[in-house]
Amino acid sequence: MANPPPDPRPLAGLFVLDFSTLLPGPLATLLLAEAGAEVMKIERPGSGDDMRHFPPHIPGGSAVFAMLNRGKRSLALDLKTPEAIDRLRPKLARADVLVEQFRPGVMDRLGLGYEAVSALNPRLIYCSITGYGQHGPRAQQDGHDLNYMADSGLLGLVAGADGAPVLPPALLADIGGGAYPAMINILLALQARARTGRGCHLDVSMHDNLLPFAFAALAEGFASGGFPAPNTLLTHGGTPRYQIYRMADGRFLAAAPLEDRFWRAFCDAAGLPETATTDDVAARIAAHDSAEWSRRFAGRDVCCSLVASPEEAAADPHFAARGLFAHRVGAAGRALPALPVPVDPQFRAAPGLRESPALGEADAEG
């Protein structure tokens, strides 16, 4: 029988040990797996990753766990036992990347800290994802996405009608501050290792990595000495050209005609003067329903969109045409659309079904 052709994906042949749970680390290692890396997930015996128990539930577990762990394998180990270290030693010796998400010092106490592991495998790229980084006054502070956004100043940039900050619609710190920077820095470290032959320890702080999202507020504060109040920045409520407006049927219009040419076209379609204020635009948009505004804006460059529900977005023919949901993830005999990931199709396998791991499925391996 002929040997199968080699995997053409750019990270094929890399071996990744994933000690992380929930969202940031697992999403980072999902990106590595989609680009060809072999990812082995280390989990607690009995219960596994907490995400296995998050809703929505499907037969055999959790839909979100399945989406985040497509194509990985699972090894169940009690890391507090000496036997676990013995079992891990050969895997640590051959690993290219290790991802962990414990508080600073936990992996050291388990005998799996960077110094100990790099002595065994100097080529290892060891990526630590934490809320506040490996050092500093907040290093041991607990937190979740909302806390990191609050501490970074991002949460204070937009307020509701009562003056209170509003809940963000996405987990920016976990994804934009954790998973994506981890992936970026792992790739940079692999490139550096190709030149030097040595690995390194990556300190990925979700809090720190939120600060680029506040670039406009930081620029204003550093340049003028006065940091912006809520709802005053150009893209944070400070202009009628970048707002969300309620329409007559209760749906919402996301209007972003920032540049003059878009604003002129918007005002012309809406029957508004170019000197219109936010209140003027709000009153005008509220006078008609979404069907009327869709008709008026059709074919015009006005940078306006109806606010879609997740169901509408998932069914959007544009996303279907781009193949965003062509990949599938299998879980306990059921197949679901896989999570779309920002890995170019040329670097992934052809669309198909890949399984999420059953807890401890790799326990029998040597």
Residues 137 and 267 in one domain: no
Q: What is the pLDDT of residue 60?
A: 79
- Mean residue pLDDT of the chain comes to 96
Q: What is the pLDDT of residue 4?
A: 74
Query: Region 122-149: what's the mean pLDDT?
Result: 97
Q: Is residue 43 a part of any domain in this protein?
A: yes
pLDDT, tens digit (0-9, with 9 covering 90-100), for 54-105: 999 998 789 999 999 999 999 999 999 999 999 999 999 999 999 999 999 9
Q: Is the pLDDT of residue 2 over 80?
A: no
Residues 125 and 257 in one domain: no
Contact between 54 and 64 under an 8 Å Cβ cutoff? The reply is: yes
Q: What is the pLDDT of residue 200?
A: 98
Q: Is the pLDDT of residue 351 over 80?
A: yes
Residues 157 and 280 in one domain: no
Residues 200 and 272 in one domain: no
Q: What is the pLDDT of residue 266?
A: 98
Query: Region 16-34: what's the mean pLDDT?
Result: 98
Domain range for residue 23?
15-212+323-355
Q: Is residue 131 a part of any domain in this protein?
A: yes
Q: Is the pLDDT of residue 123 over 90?
A: yes
Query: Region 186-207: what's the mean pLDDT?
Result: 98
- With cut-offs at 50, 70 and 90, classify the pLDDT of residue 294: very high
Residues 48 and 189 in one domain: yes
Residues 261 and 153 in one domain: no
Catalytically annotated residue among 78, 144, 301, 316: 144
CB neighbour burial string for 207-226, b if at least 16 within 10 angstroms, e if fewer: bbbbeebbeebeebeeeeee
pLDDT, tens digit (0-9, with 9 covering 90-100), for 319-343: 999 999 999 999 888 899 999 999 9
Count of alpha carbons within 13 Å of 87, Cβ hemisphere only?
17
Residues 109 and 20 in one domain: yes
Q: How many domains are there within the chain? A: 2
Q: What is the pLDDT of residue 5?
A: 79
Q: What is the pLDDT of residue 365?
A: 82
Q: Is the pLDDT of residue 231 over 80?
A: yes
- pLDDT above 70 covers what percent of the chain? 99
CATH number for the domain spanning 32: value is 3.40.50.10540
Residue 185 and residue 171: Cα distance in Å, rounded? 20
Residues 24 and 138 in one domain: yes
Residues 113 and 204 in one domain: yes
**SS3 annotation, the chain:** CCCCCCCCCCCCCCEEEECCCCCHHHHHHHHHHHCCCEEEEEECCCCCCHHHHCCCEECCEEHHHHHHCCCCEEEECCCCCHHHHHHHHHHHHHCCEEEECCCCCHHHHCCCCHHHHHHHCCCCEEEEEECCCCCCCCCCCCCCHHHHHHHHCHHHHCECCCCCECCCCCCHHHHHHHHHHHHHHHHHHHHHHHHHCCCEEEEEECCHHHHHHHHHHHHHHHHHCCCCCCCCCCCCCCCCCCEEEECCCCCEEEECCCCHHHHHHHHHHHCCCCCCCHHHHHHHHCCCCHHHHHHHHCCCCCCEEECCCHHHHHCCHHHHHCCCCCCEEEECCEEEECCCCCCCHHHCCCCCEEECCCCCCCCCCC
- With cut-offs at 50, 70 and 90, classify the pLDDT of residue 3: confident
Residues 282 and 328 in one domain: no
> Annotated catalytic, 144?
yes
Residues 39 and 108 in one domain: yes
Q: Is residue 2 a part of any domain in this protein?
A: no
Catalytically annotated residue among 18, 96, 174, 208: 174
- With cut-offs at 50, 70 and 90, classify the pLDDT of residue 204: very high
Whether the model clears a pTM of 0.75, i.e. scores above it, the answer is yes
- pLDDT above 90 covers what percent of the chain? 95
Give the angle subtended at the CA of 143 by the CAs of 171 and 25, to the nearest 5°. 55
pLDDT, tens digit (0-9, with 9 covering 90-100), for 248-278: 999 999 999 999 999 999 999 999 999 999 9
Q: What is the pLDDT of residue 172?
A: 97
